[in-house]
Chains A and B, each alone.
Chain A
Amino acid sequence: MTISIDSQDSNNKRLQPTGWLRYFSFSLDHKVIGIQYLVCGFLFYLIGGTLASAIRIELASPMSDFMPRDVYNQVLTLHGTIMIFLWIVPVVNGAFGNYLIPFYVGARDMAFPRLNAVAFWLIPPSGLMLVASYFVEGAAQAGWTAYPPLSITTPQSGQIIWIMSVLLLGGSSIFGGINFIATIIKLRRPGLKLMQLPMYCWAMLGTSLLVVLSTPVLAGTLILLSFDIVAHTGFFNPVLGGNVVVYQHLFWFYSHPAVYIMVLPAFGLVSEILPVHSRKPLFGYTTMVFSIMGIVVLGLVVWAHHMFTSGTPPWMRLFFTIATAFIAVPTGIKFFNWVATLWGGKISINSAMLFSCGFIINFVFGGITGVALAQVPFDIHVHDTYFVVAHFHYIVYGGTVFIIFSSIYHWFPKVTGKLMSEKLGILHFAITFIGFNLCFAPQHWLGLNGMPRRVAEYDPQFQFVNQISSVGALLMAISTIPFLVNIFLSIKNGKDSGDNPWSALTPEWLTSSPPPVENWEGEAPLVEEPYGYGKPVSTEK
């Protein structure tokens, strides 16, 4: 850890701190920023996971005996907000996007390295602010959706801190999105065509478009909400002539695309991992690209399917039901493409592959319940029940978080030059997969039988199924232990992986592991076929 700063060109990233110290610096290196995002996000995941465990302990019995009801609401709010804004969105976009996109477009860094560092360094302070808001008198307890009038009538100091924190995180997200769009469109290596990019680039391009188009609307909405709280205006306060449904429209205009902001990058990542470990080209590249863009367009016009019980008129219900059902088409295409990629491939069963397959299984389940929820009669029946909770977690945990773990196993050798232990990895997968399904599958039944979500107490008839779910949650918490042990042991004395342990063809593997500061010694390679497996290629070992 030597720090050498050249007086003439202190912005030059070659001269910034090296060693572990650089991870605590305002580094402009996209690889450092990617790891910063990942580690920071994981720390918040541990906090959010602890809160989730508290929720499941509370729900193991029908009465609110573990914590008072308002504390339960605060814990629930904090759990949702942390997991969405500080773990999934920053990690699946910021961490992997920053690490991989410059490699994939053949660049030495992102388009705006300084903006990139600013985008990351907004996260720790606003995250700490959010966590701190819990200890303020009157912590936010209106859920991650902060629906008024609940959010403007409950004690307010915590809610205001919550709003400020989410605004800052939204800003960070927008800066990141601008950077990704500019990098993918403008910074491509000469000769590299758009249709030759690895799929993750397309996923990030689509995601960033959604971020840039929808996050500002959330920002505007939260500004109006804070006016309602601080200045006692009546935008969303029915007592003062306001309209709560307007908040819901504006909020879901961001927060439905936010689901795609969380899951599209995971689609991209799984499309990178499956071909490598099954030694086959990605099936249907072009259809995959069009599916992603189709999801982006449709994702912007389906928001009101969250509001079927908010007095939406019939024509609106019809439109949003049909639009939502249409999203199943591009998503289904992607699903079949992944299965077809695996079909007949030379599949290696390792941790990355297992988590990816786990993703496919969980995701198809979450997708089916998603189509079901888009149907008005069914939605009205299960609205605000545990069915919705189960559906959401199947997409976001069973989908995205599985892919985050899969990606960590896949790219760990890239970042450190060491292999992770497969035994611990498979153990991690087994406990996570069993725990996850044990936790959330029973919640479908709970929801169908009418157990409402977001409530600390419930009818005693649901106790047994809730206890099964809590055991699952306990397993999920335990599953973090082999993962952390694996990470630390592998960093300390993992086997050397060599530069390209998976014999992969995507550009990030065509350099040393860990990569040099400039990504490549000499010129960036031109990778015209990132998925050219099964053909005689010189890089095959």
Chain B
Amino acid sequence: MTTLDSSKEIKKKDSELSQHHEDFRMFGLITFLIADGMTFAGFFAAYLTYKAVNPLPDGYIYELELPIPTINTILLLVSSATFHKAGKALLKNKNSDAQKWLIVTATLGIAFLICQLFEYFNLPFGLTDNLFASTFYALTGFHGLHVTLGTLMILIISWQTRSEGGRITNQNMFPLEAVELYWHFVDGIWVILFIILYLL
């Protein structure tokens, strides 16, 4: 069993270790995002295979309208930039600025979701109509779920970035950085999804 002296020594060692703690939290998150990306990769692979092997019968081929998804792409790209701004502001210790940028980002995320729902309601096909429709809703829906979760997380961290008594400060940037990485990831997935689903 540990004596008092050695346990003190251990505590010292632990505090030395915890200085590096930041690094592998990020490392773990990146590993997780790779795993998450593989789920999307599976969906994309299924979609592309269906497209190649199971073509829809004539008269069932839809031309997807481009305006809404294009607006959505712009919304997400801009939101990535505003999130970056929030991080920059926090680095300069301007918490209220950071909070403002985060709220702007969350608003853009909500706008994306509203546009997505608007598109859903105006599409000429439903979930079970045919193979293309099902895959379309599965892919965009799974991505939309990611956006929803991301928006919720942004709202939480924007509350935590408040000037007085907030948990996220210049010294403790990890929560903000983690959500930022996740948000860029979701953004990147959307770009791939936009190209594969709407443009190809």
Answer whether residue B2 sits at the interface, using C-beta atoms and an 8 A cutoff: yes
* B131 x A240 contact (CB < 8 A): yes
Q: How far is the CB of A226 from chain B (nearest CB, A)?
A: 11
Q: Kindly state whether residue A365 has any CB partner on chain B within 8 Å.
A: no
Using known A-B contacts A216-B35, A243-B53, A246-B46, determine if residue A186 contacts B24 with beta carbons closer than 8 Å: yes
Give chain A nearest CB distance to B139 CB in angstroms: 10
The answer on a CB contact under 8 Å between A187 and B39 is: no
**Of all chain B residues, which has the CB nearest A243?**
B54
Most A CB contacts (10 A, CB to CB) among B9, B20, B31, B53 go to: B31
Contact assessment for A216 and B130 in the assembled complex, using a CB-CB cutoff below 8 Å: no
Contact, CB under 8 Å: A234 / B134: yes
A231 proximal to B (CB < 8 A): yes
Query: What range describes how many residues of B lie at the interface?
Result: 35 or more
- When A234-B128, A250-B45 are in contact, do A216 and B10 touch as well, CB less than 8 Å? no
Write out the residue numbers on chain A whose beta carbons fall within 8 Å of the beta carbon of B49.
243, 246, 249
Cβ-defined partner of A112 (8 Å) among B2, B28, B41, B50 = B28
- Rounded to whole Å, the gap between the CB of B2 and the closest CB of chain A is 6
What's the Cα separation between A219 and B28 when bound, in Å? 20
Measured CA separation A244–B26 after assembly (Å): 39
Identify B127's interface contact among A108, A111, A233, A249, CB under 8 A.
A233
Cβ–Cβ contact A242 & B131, under 8 A: yes
B96: min CB distance to chain A, Å? 32
Which of B24, B25, B41, B134 sits near A235, CB closer than 8 Å?
A: B134
In the complex, what residues of B have CB within 8 A of residue A108's CB? 10, 13-14, 17
The CA of A235 and the CA of B23, in the complex, are separated in Å by: 41
In this assembly, does B165 line the interface, its C-beta being within 8 Å of a C-beta of chain A? Answer: no
B11-23 CB mask vs A (1 if < 8 Å, else 0) is 0011001001001
Bound Cα distance A428, B43 (Å) = 47
A231-B128, A243-B53, A249-B49 known; A216 vs B27 contact (CB < 8 Å):
no
Cβ contacts under 8 Å, B64 to chain A: none
Chain A residues with CB under 8 A of B34: 212-213
Pick the residue among A174, A234, A246, A518 that contacts B10 (CB under 8 A). A518
Within the assembled complex, what's the spacing in Å between the Cα atoms of A253 and B56?
Answer: 26
A517 CB contact (under 8 Å) in B2, B13, B20, B135: B2
A112 CA / B3 CA spacing, docked (Å)? 26
Chain B residues with CB under 8 Å of A185's CB are 27
**Which residues of B lie under 8 Å from residue A517 when comparing CB positions?**
2
A224 touches B46 (CB 8 A): yes
A325 within 8 A of B: no
Chain A residues whose C-beta falls within 8 Å of the C-beta of B27 in the assembled complex = 182, 185-186
Complex alpha-carbon distance, A182 and B21, angstroms:
11
**B124 adjacent to chain A (CB < 8 Å):** no
CB of A73 within 8 A of chain B? no
Give chain A nearest CB distance to B59 CB in angstroms: 14
Residue in B1, B17, B39, B130 whose beta carbon sits within 8 Å of that of A241 in the complex: B130
- Does A408 reach chain B (CB closer than 8 Å)? no
Chain A residues positioned under 8 Å from B54 (CB to CB): 241-243
- Knowing A234-B134, A243-B53 touch, does A217 contact B38 (C-beta < 8 A)? yes
For residue A227, CB closer than 8 A to chain B, the reply is yes
- Nearest CB in chain A to that of B45: its residue: A250
Distance to closest chain A CB from B30 (angstroms): 9
Residues on B with C-beta less than 8 A from A219 are 39
A521 at the A/B interface (Cβ < 8 Å)? yes
Q: Is the CB of A217 within 8 A of B39?
A: yes
Contacts A227-B138, A233-B128, A235-B46 given; indicate if A178 touches B38 (C-beta within 8 A).
no
**Residue from A212, A240, A241, A521 in contact with B6 in the complex, judged by beta carbons closer than 8 Å:** A521
Min distance, Cβ B81 to any Cβ of chain A, angstroms: 28
Contact B31 A181 (CB under 8 A): yes
A116-153 vs B, CB cutoff 8 Å, 1 = contact: the mask equals 00000000000000000000000000000000000000
Pairs A–B under 8 Å by Cβ, sample size 6: A187-B24, A223-B142, A232-B128, A241-B54, A246-B53, A522-B10
Other 10 A-B pairs with CB < 8 A, given A111-B24, A220-B46, A521-B2: A182-B28, A212-B34, A215-B35, A216-B35, A221-B42, A233-B128, A233-B134, A250-B42, A253-B42, A522-B9
